[in-house]
């Protein structure tokens, strides 16, 4: 097998993300990635062992992208301002990349390939909440609640699930305020 010069696992992931952005996760196949890479499908096995492993690498890239964006959004902020910035950046990411976000791993902490990237993302969320004095299980519960709000809203929105005429920005801001009020009550 001759591998196209310069093809790396990172470039294979780049191509996979392009396919996902166009066709969704269900449209991702090794054959399509190989065709776009200009190689025969078996040549991809020099870079990924399977479609499942490629999806794992895609998950790592998504986690890293989101970690980078969230970190930049909350840098220099604390308390309510940091939480609001993270929540709005999360929603913005999903709005910009709805098909890509659908490939986001739901439980990276139990996947050896994705665990480090998943841990980094959780650490950003925990750091964002640090200003509320939360530690231990209280911090974990607060992080989960925040994830449920931002993931749930953004996922329903990206799937076209909000058909009523009221403004989605207003609803999202109300959810964030409810969350912040709850944080203040529990700290």
Whole-number pLDDT of residue 6: 84
Whole-number pLDDT of residue 186: 80
For the chain, the domains span 1-48, 57-186
Residue 50 dihedral angles phi and psi, to the nearest 5°: -165, 170
- Write out the two tokens for 141: 């519960």
Q: One digit per residue, pLDDT tens: the chain, 187 residues?
A: 333 568 999 999 999 999 999 999 999 999 999 999 999 999 999 999 999 999 999 999 999 999 999 999 999 999 999 999 999 999 999 999 999 999 999 999 999 999 999 999 999 999 999 989 998 999 999 999 999 999 999 999 999 999 898 999 999 999 999 999 999 888 7
Superfamily of domain 1-48: Homeodomain-like (1.10.10.60)
* Fold agreement (1-48, 57-186): no
- The Cα–Cα gap between 49 and 39 comes to 15
What is the pTM assigned to this prediction?
0.91
Superfamily of domain 57-186: Tetracycline Repressor, domain 2 (1.10.357.10)
């Amino acid at each position: 097998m001759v591998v196209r010069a310069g093809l790396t696992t990172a470039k294979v992931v780049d191509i996979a993300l392009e396919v996902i952005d166009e066709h969704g996760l269900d449209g991702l196949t090794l054959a399509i990635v190989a065709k776009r890479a200009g190689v025969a499908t078996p040549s991809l096995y020099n870079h990924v062992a399977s479609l499942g492993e490629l999806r794992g690498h895609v998950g790592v890239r998504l986690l890293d992208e989101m970690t980078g964006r969230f970190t930049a959004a909350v840098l220099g902020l604390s308390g309510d301002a940091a939480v609001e910035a993270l929540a709005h950046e999360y929603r913005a990411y999903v709005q910009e990349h709805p098909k890509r976000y659908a490939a986001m791993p739901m439980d990276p902490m139990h996947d050896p390939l994705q665990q480090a990237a998943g841990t980094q993302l959780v650490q950003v969320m925990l750091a964002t909440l640090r200003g509320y004095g939360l530690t231990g299980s209280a911090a974990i519960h607060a992080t989960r609640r925040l994830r449920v709000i931002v993931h749930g809203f953004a996922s329903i929105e990206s799937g076209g699930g909000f058909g009523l005429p009221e403004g989605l920005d207003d609803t999202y801001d109300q959810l964030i305020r409810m969350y912040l009020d709850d944080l203040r009550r529990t700290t």
